[in-house]
Amino acid sequence: MIKDFLKTLVSNRKSLVGLCLLGFFVLVAAFAPLIAPYEPKIDRLETVAELGEPSLEEEIVSEDYPSDSRDVIVYRSTTTREYEKTVDYFPLRAKPSAEHPLGTNHAGNDLFSQLVWGTRVSLTIGLMTGLFVTALSLTLALLSGYLGGVVDDVITFLTNVMLVIPGLPLMIVVAAYVTMKGTLPIVLILGLTGWPYPTRLLRSQVLTLKGRDFVRVSRSLGERTSFVVFREILPNMISIAMAEFFASSMAAILGEATLEFIGLGNVTVVSWGTILFWAQANGALLSGAWWWFLPPGICIALVGTSFVLINFAIDEISNPRLRKR
């Protein structure tokens, strides 16, 4: 089932482009340490000249500050050897250059490295939230659609209530109360405000499947519930669940960026959202530093586009009417 589904995805041109795009960002996230020239929060390069054993206590011999961006410190350890340490500070708010392809920010961090490392954080949060939302809504949908009765009434009612409560404002309010900042709280906030819509969609799919002949037959034959749910209903929900996964992940990446941009995330972590937060906070816009605020948005949009493309394909596969003839 899953294999067939993946095969059709790969054979569709749109989803192939989408998958490649997503694959590219996943690779960047995975190999961030190799791709990024610097650590995301480094603002200087230190080089130590002369050989010898480093020692615990040291005595500064001379300090020299040849330029604004360079310190040269000569110091002696207890073993009387001398070392020269050169500290090269990155320029602040630099334009793109050979050393810093996307320039540097207000604190002298290399923006290209931040973008690469930020891919890791943003993608992780997006995909984790997508997974969380899909699992949650799939569970709720199966419980509600399959069991019916009171369970269904309660879940449907809750879903309908939560559907009308506007998501982003709720997210903002909840995030404002959260004192603990980190990946998990963000995933929880995004996930717990993002489940109603997918739950509704998935539930109606469960109901459709429940009415299909093959499910009706095995139910009347007295098959175990777990068999019907896991062997007959679930496999037929793969495409719609995948579509929900990608849609939720995209919503999560956008939501995360928004929360961080407002300053409700953890601003000490480097992600696409926080790069934009710092860009805005430091007036990147009005100093014309497009290299600071354009790339993160483009990355978000590209990841989003990859999800949209994949979902286009899934839509076309499951709804023949949309197929180009």
Partner 1 sequence: MKYFLRKLGLLAFTLFVSVSLNFFLPRMMPGDPARALLDKMENLQPEQLDTIRAAFGLDTDDPVIVQYGRYLRNTLRGDLGTSFSRFPTPVSEVMRVALPWSIGLMGLCTIISFSLGTLIGIAAAWRRETKLASATVGFFSFVRSFPYFWLGLVFIYFFAFRLRAFPIGGAYSVDAARGGAAWWLSVLRHGALPAATIVVSSLGAWILTMRNNMINVLAEDYITVAMAKGLPIRRIKSMYAAKNAILPSVTGFAMSLGFVIGGGLVTEMVFAYPGIGYMLYQAVNAKDYPLMQAIFLFIAVAVLIANFAADVAVMILDPRVRDGAK
**Interface ranges with partner 1 (CB under 8 A):** 157, 160-161, 163-170, 172-174, 176-180, 197, 250, 254, 257-258, 261-264, 276, 279-280, 285-286, 288, 290, 293-294, 296-297, 300-305, 307-309, 312, 315, 319, 321-322, 324
Q: How far is it, in rounded angstroms, from Cα 132 to Cα 58? A: 52
Please identify, using beta-carbon distances, which residue of 101 and 167 lies nearer to partner 1.
Answer: 167
* Shortest distance in whole angstroms from residue 198 CB to partner 1: 12
* Shortest distance in whole angstroms from residue 310 CB to partner 1: 11
Q: How far is CA 322 from CA 32, 205, 250, 271, 309, in A?
A: 39, 18, 22, 37, 14
Q: Which residues contact residue 173 at a Cβ distance below 8 angstroms, ignoring those fewer than 6 apart?
A: none
Please identify, using beta-carbon distances, which residue of 103 and 296 lies nearer to partner 1.
Answer: 296
* Shortest distance in whole angstroms from residue 250 CB to partner 1: 7
* Shortest distance in whole angstroms from residue 25 CB to partner 1: 13
Please identify, using beta-carbon distances, which residue of 220 and 319 lies nearer to partner 1.
Answer: 319
Please give the span between the terminal C-alpha atoms of the chain, in angstroms, as a whole number.
Answer: 25
What residues does 21 pair with on adjacent strands? none
What is the side-by-side strand order in the sheet with 82-89? 44-49, 82-89, 70-77, 58-67
Please identify, using beta-carbon distances, which residue of 147 and 176 lies nearer to partner 1.
Answer: 176
Buried b (16+ CB within 10 A) or exposed e, 268-306: ebbbbbbbbbbbeebebeeeebebbbebbeebbeebbeb
And the tokens for 98? 């050979």
* Shortest distance in whole angstroms from residue 159 CB to partner 1: 11
Please identify, using beta-carbon distances, which residue of 145 and 255 lies nearer to partner 1.
Answer: 255
Please identify, using beta-carbon distances, which residue of 218 and 280 lies nearer to partner 1.
Answer: 280
Rounded to 5 degrees, what angle do the CA atoms 36, 290, 304 make?
65
Q: How far is it, in rounded angstroms, from Cα 134 to Cα 116? A: 27
DSSP letter (8 states) at residue 95:
P
Please identify, using beta-carbon distances, which residue of 236 and 258 lies nearer to partner 1.
Answer: 258
Q: How far is it, in rounded angstroms, from Cα 136 to Cα 130? A: 10
Q: Is 302 left (phi over 0), alpha (psi -120 to 50) or beta?
A: alpha
Q: How far is it, in rounded angstroms, from Cα 153 to Cα 294? A: 47
* Shortest distance in whole angstroms from residue 294 CB to partner 1: 7
* Shortest distance in whole angstroms from residue 170 CB to partner 1: 7
* Shortest distance in whole angstroms from residue 245 CB to partner 1: 16
Please identify, using beta-carbon distances, which residue of 218 and 305 lies nearer to partner 1.
Answer: 305
